[in-house]
Amino acid sequence: MKILHISDLHFPKKLSLFSLRGKAIVGYLSYRLRRKSKHPLVLIAAMVNAISKLEYDALIISGDLTNVSHPGEFENAKEILKPLLTDKTFLIPGNHDRYQKRAIGPSPLFEKTFGEWIGTSLDPNSYIRSKKIGGKLFIGWDSNFAVPRITANGYVAPEIIEKTTSSVKEPYILVCHHPLWNPKTEIESRGHRMLNRSEVVNKLKANPPELYLHGHTHTNWIKLPGPKAPFAIVNSASSTRLSDRSHECGFHMIEIGKSTSYRRFIYSEDKFIETNPIFYEESEGVI
Ligand SMILES: [Fe+2]
Ligand SMILES: [Fe+2]
């Protein structure tokens, strides 16, 4: 089973300020000033091209397809991803896809746009979605919530963790936007972290996933299984952001067989090339 994992695509889309409300105005202006140039169209085209040439069984996208959850951004994301949206694809939302209350509402924009590729719901009262791809079970969580202030925190309710660990009866791969572990050199700030990450890790021990796939922190790493989290934690964000001193643009191909192997692809001179993955032991970071 070959799993291709990309994340934090943050597709650029020009929006009219008149179409924005509340914190989306500030969020959009800050994105135009600080982040727009970091996600150039040439890189996005190179990523879609690189993925189309790779052989894989499942394509996982762990959220942040948009910037301020504007309807126009969702349509744009779907249009760009069109060649990659198949029965092999499984997506979950990131905090930028739940940025405003109006994106959630009774008919959430993420579900409305990507409903075909988000799996089926395991629980009517919470976001636990599952999809079988090539015989492998993928479970998706939504760790995001829209608040009036600009924060990027995540949270997964204990009931969601318990429901997942008690109802899933076969090996599974868990996909969720926020990291559960960070290297000591890249600690998450107070407004950018999964608030109850140690609770999530502890409760998952009842029935741990084979892998935890996430994004949110825009750089790549793999935390190997350890005593606290007995599963690998893979960060493939951001797959469309130009690399700089503290962010590396890339994505992973994970092959699960008798053992698990990892390949990493990074953007270099207008194309994606293969390079060494970045591995950490659990003790080299914190939950
Ligand atoms: Fe992101
Ligand atoms: Fe994020």
Ligand 2 centroid – CA 258 distance (Å): 32
- Residues lining ion ligand 2 (Cβ < 5 A) are 64, 94-95, 216
Ligand 1 centroid – CA 49 distance (Å): 21
Ligand 1 centroid – CA 97 distance (Å): 10
Q: Which ligand is nearest to the CA of 176?
A: 2
Q: Name every residue whose Cβ is closer than 8 Å to that of residue 123 and which is 6 or more positions away in sequence.
A: 160, 163
Q: Say what the pTM is.
A: 0.95
Task: Enumerate the domain spans of the chain.
Answer: 2-286
Ligand 2 centroid – CA 95 distance (Å): 5
Q: Which ligand is nearest to the CA of 66?
A: 1
Residues 239 and 47: their CA atoms lie apart, in Å, by 7
- The confidence score (pLDDT) of residue 148 equals 66
Ligand 1 centroid – CA 96 distance (Å): 7
- Which CATH number, 3.40.1350.10, 2.60.120.10, 3.40.50.720, 3.60.21.10, labels domain 2-286? 3.60.21.10
Per the CB < 8 A criterion, the answer to whether 251 and 262 are in contact is no
Residues 154 and 145: their CA atoms lie apart, in Å, by 7
Ligand 1 centroid – CA 221 distance (Å): 15
Ligand 2 centroid – CA 172 distance (Å): 23
Residues 11 and 64: their CA atoms lie apart, in Å, by 9
- The confidence score (pLDDT) of residue 38 equals 85
Tokens of 171: 């090996």
Ligand 1 centroid – CA 142 distance (Å): 14
Q: Name every residue whose Cβ is closer than 8 Å to that of residue 153 and which is 6 or more positions away in sequence.
A: 95, 191, 192, 193, 194, 195
Ligand 2 centroid – CA 236 distance (Å): 12
Pairing of β 120-121 and β 172-175: unpaired
Ligand 2 centroid – CA 249 distance (Å): 15
Per the CB < 8 A criterion, the answer to whether 10 and 64 are in contact is yes
Q: Name every residue whose Cβ is closer than 8 Å to that of residue 192 and which is 6 or more positions away in sequence.
A: 151, 152, 153, 216, 217
Q: Which ligand is nearest to the CA of 35?
A: 1
Ligand 2 centroid – CA 257 distance (Å): 30
pLDDT lower than 50: segments of the chain: none
195 Rama class: left (phi>0) / alpha (psi -120 to 50) / beta: alpha
Residue the block writes with tokens 């990074």: 266
Q: Which ligand is nearest to the CA of 236?
A: 1
Tokens of 111: 């579900």
- Residues lining ion ligand 1 (Cβ < 5 A) are 8, 64
SS3 141: strand
